[in-house]
Amino acid sequence: MYVPIMKVGQQRGARQNEADTSMIHEFLRMNPLSFTGSSTSEDPENFVDELKKVFKVMHVVDAK
């Protein structure tokens, strides 16, 4: 009886991994800005605002 529960848990974990991977690929396809902090012309607030826009399109919820 313990084995089937493990299999269900493993399947659920595999599906979650696939969903996570899919979301990462979707994020990268949106070609997000990169922030290195090494240039004085980089605006950290602009970087965060642009990422928030990408997350909104992806329907990612802010978990403060």
CA dist., res. 44 & res. 41, Å (int): 10
Tell me if residue 31 falls in helix, strand or coil. coil
The predicted structure's pLDDT at residue 3: 45
The predicted structure's pLDDT at residue 1: 41
pTM of the complete model: 0.51
Give the tokens for residue 19. Answer: 């969903």
The predicted structure's pLDDT at residue 16: 75
The predicted structure's pLDDT at residue 57: 85
The predicted structure's pLDDT at residue 10: 60
Average pLDDT per 10 consecutive residues for the chain, totaling 64 residues: 51 73 85 78 86 86 74
The predicted structure's pLDDT at residue 2: 47
